[in-house]
Homo-oligomer: A and B are copies of this chain.
Amino acid sequence: MDRRIKKNQSAIMNALMQLIAEKEFEKITINDIAERADVNRGTVYSHYADKYDLLDKCIEAQLAHLMECCYSPETTGPFPSKITLLRTVKEIENNAPLFQSLLSIKDVSSFRVHLSKMIHMQIVEQMNEHKISLDDLGKSIFAQFMSSAIVGVIEWWFTPSMTCSAEELTERLWSILEVNWMTLLSPQA
């Protein structure tokens, strides 16, 4: 891909990320974005249909990045470990204001949906790798159950009193996940 495209797209996306962490999405104008990205306004339109399209691409990229940096090659084993979970939670913590803002955007096919879908997919994938005695419907329901739950916990984590440390959250969450996964693996489930 052309250097200019790559650079400008990343500049534009970063600009929106920054702005989102600063003020309400609806208050952000294309001008703000172009200005922050140090790019002509027309350039924004040449890559994205509008604010919402850009937001979508940003969310996708952000989630891809999250996956990349948390589930990268050196993940020990095919199985999501506690350490991986901690790494993920910490990464979310590090970008707390951004994630919080993304989660609070309503008008758009929301970040929560994207996040949930991604987790859903991950879970289905995991289930397919380990032979689970469950039909497709069962897998889908289980995945939906788990992904909703996890996203819910993350959302809760960001509510006013984010009293819980990343380590503590990981600990508690892991113990719940472990139970679910184990009962799933045992054939008599």
Contact = CB atoms under 8 A, between A and B. Distances in A.
Interface residues of A, number: 5
Number of copies of chain A assembled together:
2
Interface in A30-81: 38-40
Contacts of A131: none
Interface string A1-41: 00100010000000000000000000000000000001110
A149 to B, nearest CB: 42
Contacts of A38: 3, 7
A40 to B, nearest CB: 7
Contacts of A40: 3
Contacts of A3: 38-40
A3 B40 CA distance: 8
Nearest to A2: B40
A121 to B, nearest CB: 33
A40 B38 CA distance: 20
A11 to B, nearest CB: 9
Contacts of A7: 38
A3 B37 CA distance: 11
4 contacts: A3-B38, A3-B39, A3-B40, A7-B38
4 shortest interchain CB distances as A-B pairs: A3-B38, A3-B40, A7-B38, A3-B39
